[in-house]
């Protein structure tokens, strides 16, 4: 009977404990009524379970609100019902990973330049000096340093340096000095293509400047070209542009190679005609000549080298018309003409129409299909 009475007393006491708030070290003070567990101390703190990230991830079916101290990240974390939270930390500067922008293009064997940068936003809570950098991957890296003068979100640009060693997708890690967190970004490294058509076939479909290595493994260094990726099937390399009053060039040499470091339709006088053998993608030359003032375009192929001299036949050897806007004045492709013009589209004709690189004006401009003009563009593919 005594044992039964003792068991009954202990059972009722046990139920009483779990029917009320519990206080630890609460001698002389009641547990806070809002807390299921109230730990009181003026000389020590509460120590949650401590474990690595791997140990944390091995917890089966963690409950929402479960809290622990991550020894890898050196911070408190809790489970929100779906995933583990980011670190619960005091104020500090944090990278905002979702804001990363990769600028410039990256090529195997080509040193990074001023266009090769990364930009990322930083949430600044503590002004002061900073360094943001990446690891070195595939021969190159990025860095930026300075001073955060104010709090708030600020965009930082990291400058690139080094030379990519191989093609592929490089996974770059960005870190902020003093922070335990990092961000990752992928950067594709490509081979320098031989011409614009190779870029187009590789999936590049935006008009603009592309790095070209027209002699492949030859001795010449890669250089920038303007690529038309949207007209007449795309993949066109600009080799000649005249878009200024006067309508002529100083001499054949100037018409052959001029402003080579400033490719594009906004460069009024531009020529890389001496590169056409390197830039063509097949045995035949595929050209597109455009006179914007008259909206006239001739698109054709020819096997005849237009720089070799005058053609004995009209049209030139291997001529294949594709889309010819004007056939006036004995149009038949391009040939080398007299000393007064570099290339000429009026094959076997005493007058030189459809001129590319004329040395003297004709009616104040460049001969086109009949009227004079100041604007003529030539592409190769």
Taking the CA atoms of residue 340, residue 341, residue 345 and residue 347 in that order, the dihedral angle to the nearest 10 degrees is 40
Structural domains in the chain, sorted by start: 21-89 (no CATH), 94-189 (2.60.40.10), 196-380 (3.90.215)
| pLDDT: which is higher, 350 or 381 | 381
Nearest alpha-carbon partner for 160 in 223, 98, 224, 107: 107
pLDDT of 246? 76
pLDDT of 5? 47
pLDDT of 6? 47
pLDDT at 62 over 50: yes
The model's pTM is: 0.64
DSSP bridge partners of 289:
298, 378
Q: Report how far apart, in Å, the C-alpha atoms of 279 and of each of 76, 109, 172 are.
A: 60, 20, 34
Is 373 in contact with 291 (CB distance < 8 Å)? yes
DSSP bridge partners of 203:
none
Kindly report the average pLDDT of the chain as a whole number: 88
DSSP bridge partners of 208:
227
pLDDT at 124 over 90: yes
Instruction: Note the pLDDT tens digit of each residue in 215-248.
Output: 876 678 889 999 999 999 999 999 999 998 877 8
Average pLDDT over residues 165-191: 93
pLDDT at 9 over 90: no
Q: How far apart are CA 354 and CA 333, in angstroms?
A: 9
Average pLDDT over residues 190-197: 93
Quote the DSSP letter at residue 341: -
pLDDT of 20? 61
Q: How many CB atoms are located within 10 Å of the residue 184 CB?
A: 11
Average pLDDT over residues 203-225: 88
Q: How far apart are CA 357 and CA 378, in angstroms?
A: 11
% pLDDT > 70, the chain: 91
pLDDT of 319? 98
* Angle formed at CA 275 by CA 274 and CA 280, multiple of 5 degrees: 130
Q: Report how far apart, in Å, the C-alpha atoms of 252 and of each of 259, 336, 338, 369 are.
A: 14, 11, 10, 21
Average the pLDDT over each of 48-57, 193-202, 334-343 and give the range with the smallest value: 334-343
Burial class (CB in 10 A: 0-12, 13-18, 19+), 210: buried
pLDDT band at 15 (very low <50, low <70, confident <90, very high): very low
Q: How far apart are CA 334 and CA 345, in angstroms?
A: 5
Is 194 in contact with 177 (CB distance < 8 Å)? no
Quote the DSSP letter at residue 86: P
| pLDDT: which is higher, 1 or 88 | 88
pLDDT at 45 over 90: no
| pLDDT: which is higher, 199 or 18 | 199
* 295 conformational bin, left if phi > 0, alpha if psi -120 to 50, beta if neither: left
Instruction: Note the pLDDT tens digit of each residue in 269-307.
Output: 999 999 999 999 999 999 999 999 899 999 999 999 999
pLDDT band at 85 (very low <50, low <70, confident <90, very high): confident
Alpha helix segments (H runs only) across 116-207:
196-201
| pLDDT: which is higher, 16 or 277 | 277
pLDDT at 35 over 90: no
pLDDT at 16 over 80: no
């Amino acid at each position: 009977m005594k044992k039964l009475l003792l068991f009954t007393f202990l059972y009722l006491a046990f139920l009483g404990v779990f029917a009320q708030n519990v206080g630890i070290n609460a001698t002389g003070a009641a547990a806070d009524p809002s807390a299921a567990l109230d730990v009181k101390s003026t000389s020590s703190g509460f120590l949650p379970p401590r474990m690595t990230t791997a140990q944390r991830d091995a917890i089966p079916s963690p409950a929402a609100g479960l809290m622990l101290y991550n020894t890898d990240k050196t911070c408190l974390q809790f489970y929100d019902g779906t995933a583990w939270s980011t670190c619960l930390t005091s104020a500090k500067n944090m990278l905002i990973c979702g804001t990363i922008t990769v600028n410039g293009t990256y090529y195997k064997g080509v040193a990074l330049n001023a266009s090769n940068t990364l930009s990322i936003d930083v949430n600044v809570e503590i002004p002061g000096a900073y360094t943001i950098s990446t690891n070195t991957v595939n021969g190159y890296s990025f860095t930026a340093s300075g001073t955060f003068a104010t709090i708030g979100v600020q965009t930082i640009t990291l400058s690139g340096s080094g030379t990519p060693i191989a093609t592929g997708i490089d996974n770059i890690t960005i870190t902020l000095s003093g922070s335990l967190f990092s961000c990752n970004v992928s950067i594709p490294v490509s081979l320098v293509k031989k011409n614009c058509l190779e870029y187009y076939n590789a999936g590049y479909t935006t008009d603009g400047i592309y790095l070209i290595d027209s002699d492949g493994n030859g001795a010449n260094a890669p250089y920038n070209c303007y690529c038309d990726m949207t007209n007449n099937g795309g993949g066109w390399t600009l080799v000649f542009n005249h878009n200024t009053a006067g309508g002529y060039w100083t001499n054949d040499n100037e018409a052959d190679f001029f402003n080579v470091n400033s490719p594009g339709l906004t460069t009024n006088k531009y020529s890389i005609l001496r590169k056409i053998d390197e830039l063509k993608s097949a045995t035949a030359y595929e050209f597109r000549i455009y006179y914007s003032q008259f909206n006239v375009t001739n698109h054709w192929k020819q096997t005849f080298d237009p720089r070799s001299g005058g053609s004995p036949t009209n049209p030139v050897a291997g001529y294949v018309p594709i889309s010819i806007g004007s056939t006036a004045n004995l149009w038949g492709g391009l040939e080398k003409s007299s000393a007064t013009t570099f290339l000429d589209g009026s094959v076997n004709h005493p007058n030189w129409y459809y001129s590319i690189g004329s040395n003297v004006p004709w009616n104040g401009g460049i001969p086109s299909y009949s009227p004079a003009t100041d604007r003529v563009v030539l592409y190769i593919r």
